[in-house]
Structure 1
Amino acid sequence: MAKQVFEIVVVLVVVLFFNQGNANMTKDMTLIESVCKKTHDFKLCVSTLISNPLSFNSTDVKGLARIMIGILQAKTDGILATIDRMSKNESDPRIRDCLIDDCYPEYDKGAELLQQAIEDLESGSLRYAITDVLWAKDDAETCQECFEEPIKLKSPVTAINSYYVALCHIAEDIMVIL
């Protein structure tokens, strides 16, 4: 009899625990979805934020903005490594020059701007944080322009740049809500 009571109590505790977790996750998803509905790309916004477990602990829009900028920082680090690898393997000297002379320095500068954006966001300088993210976006676009002028080259980073620019737009959109 005591064993059955113990088993029932354990089952009730487990059920209550999981129901509480589901309620919190639903609440967190509601915040993420309501914020992402106000961005340029709802699906990309939601999928990006839910890929980071910290998003489920965020209680406000500022927290989600901070998380999105953090995701951009991580993407920037990955892009810099990809550009470095591509430049070492590229046989076309014009493409290699774009990667080394334009893309790498632009994304490196973007990394610094994103760090500044987080500092500005934390200090309440929202206008500057937005500007920092927009400049990081511009740096990615400058990278892409290298492959288009003066003659059109096949850019190996078009998809990377487009994705990065889209994430920058989302980060900006989230901060504008603040």
Structure 2
Amino acid sequence: MKLIVMVMTMMMISEGSMIDQTCKQTPDFKLCVSLLNSDPRGSSADISGLALILIDKIKVLATKTLTEINGLYKKRPELKQALDQCSRRYKTILNADVPEAIEAISKGVPKFGEDGVIDAGVEASVCEEGFQGKSPLTSLTKSMQNISSVTRAVVRMLL
């Protein structure tokens, strides 16, 4: 019984250390660990699996941001032009960048996965710039940029 407990403890340590070791190589260790630990797949994932989890987080955030944009049309009609641009940008993240990244990582061609992840951060930045300093989406935009940056670092480990 004691041996089983020791083996289980060692497995937990090594699983946790995979996330820790990976996240130490990213620009935001705390964000990385938080994102990966919040997904049950993280504890048993290899680096490709961790990258896919992070890409899923980009998808979730893009979906949340699109929902927020749709709600802002009624509350802030004066921002219609900027909101239209942001809507297009976030739809690009969901319909092009995320699928490209998932397919590339799944097929073992991480370079194309990196391109999709980088583009997600760029799309968010361009959205933000469209408000000329008065964006109601700043916190979501910054989150997308941060998640994209962390995800890119993990995808680069596969190159």
Pairwise CA distance, 1:72: 1.1
Question: 1:167 aligned to 2:147?
Answer: yes
Pairwise CA distance, 1:86: 1.9
Q: What is the TM-score of this pair, normalised by structure 1?
A: 0.81
Residues 120 and 144, structure 2, Cα contact 8 Å, conserved in 1: no
Q: Which runs of 5+ in 2 are unaligned?
A: none
- What's 1:9 paired with? none
- What's 1:53 paired with? 40
SS at match of 2:14: helix
Q: Which runs of 5+ in 1 are unaligned?
A: 1-11
Question: 1:64 aligned to 2:50?
Answer: yes
Question: 1:107 aligned to 2:90?
Answer: yes
Residues 65 and 174, structure 1, Cα contact 8 Å, conserved in 2: yes
Pairwise CA distance, 1:97: 2.4
Question: 1:121 aligned to 2:87?
Answer: no
Residues 73 and 115, structure 1, Cα contact 8 Å, conserved in 2: no
Pairwise CA distance, 1:30: 0.2
2: CA distance, partners of 1:85 / 1:23: 48
1: CA distance, partners of 2:100 / 2:6: 40
The 1:145/1:31 distance shift into structure 2, 3 A limit, reads same
**The structure with more radius of gyration:** 1
RMSD: 1.8
Pairwise CA distance, 1:57: 2.0
2: CA distance, partners of 1:86 / 1:110: 19
- What's 1:41 paired with? 28
Identity %: 28
- What's 1:98 paired with? 82
**Pairs aligned (count):** 157
Residues 140 and 165, structure 1, Cα contact 8 Å, conserved in 2: yes
Letter of the 1:72 counterpart: I
2: CA distance, partners of 1:29 / 1:143: 36
